[in-house]
Structure 1
């Protein structure tokens, strides 16, 4: 049973139909949750050790690591029924869109630290860390996620394969679910 099938088997019917209809978005969200953990793990590891005085640099490195993980998971799972471009062209477009998304992601953190001065010694350490998390890991990541989903669907993994490959993948992925209860 796949991850999506497992999630859908525990979902009530009205919502299950909506999720099946929007399964790419559901998969993109699961990949996003995974890369959220990777991003924040790397960011805090760097920010609390070797890059303590450079939180924006630490965040940029963390985003790059998470972006590489994101490419592999999105290519092989979320958007596997889309595309049709040569891999090197697709990868180039993915990383260009992701590069713009890194900038989108970093803007709220930069504003928090350097425009609003939510950093020590102007505020307490706990306030700095809270502001960093909210601006860098919530606001920035949500803005970048919306931008990436739009960019990936439009340019990186366009829906130009035709029905055959998509139907084969859909048949292999979505099997009839047994009724709950």
Structure 2
């Protein structure tokens, strides 16, 4: 029995059916949580070491690394029954959507830093770091996540190609 089946067996019936109905979204959220940790771990590592004066550059690098992790996890788990395109075409679409999402993610941080001037010396280090986290890792991430989920389902892993991918998966296993 898989981990998911074990967890679902302990969930009350009505909630279980709701979770099953929205399993792609749930899996996407688990992948998002994982890449959130990757993103923020790399961002803070870079931001407090080699890119101290370039927080948006550090965030962009962190997002790019997290996006690569996201592609692998989403392709192989969240949307494994969708898609059907050649891997190169699928990956190109994924990274185009993700590239737009990087811009969406960075907008709140850019506004926080350079429009609202929530950076040192205008504010304390605590206020700067809190504003960076809220704008870059909460607001930006939520906006980008919504855009990615919509874009991945619509263009990268469309359901109308799902039969092709399902047949390929069945043939391989």
Q: What TM-score results when the alignment is normalised by the length of structure 1?
A: 0.89
Structure 2 residue aligned with 1:162: 163
User: Aligned residue for 2:20?
Assistant: 20
Over 3 Å counting, the alpha-carbon distance change for 1:164 and 1:59 in structure 2 is: closer
**What is aligned with 1:30?**
30
Q: Which runs of 5+ in 2 are unaligned?
A: none
Gaps of 5+ in 1: 170-181
Q: After TM superposition, where is structure 1 displaced by more than 6 Å over at least 4 residues in a row? A: none
CA distance in 2 between partners of 1:31 and 1:47 (Å): 24
Q: Deviations over 1:92-111 (max 9, x none)?
A: 00000000000000000000
SS in 2 for 1:29: helix
> How many pairs align?
168
String of CA shifts for 1:33-52, please: whole Å, max 9, x gaps: 00000000000000000000
Query: What is the CA deviation profile of residues 26-67 of structure 1, one whole-angstrom value per residue up to 9, with x for unaligned ones?
Result: 100000000000000000000000000000000000000000
Distance 2:6 2:116 in 1: 44
CA contact (8 A) 1:83 1:157 kept: yes
Deviates more, 1:2-11 or 1:62-71: 2-11
Q: In structure 2, do the counterparts of structure 1 residues 140 and 3 end up closer, same or farther at CA, with 3 Å as the change threshold?
A: farther
TM-score for both structures, normalised by structure 2: 0.93
Aligned counterparts of 1:3 and 1:140: Cα–Cα separation in 2: 31
> What per-residue deviation string (whole Å, max 9, x for no partner) do you get for residues 134-177 of structure 1?
000000000000000000000000012339928x88xxxxxxxx
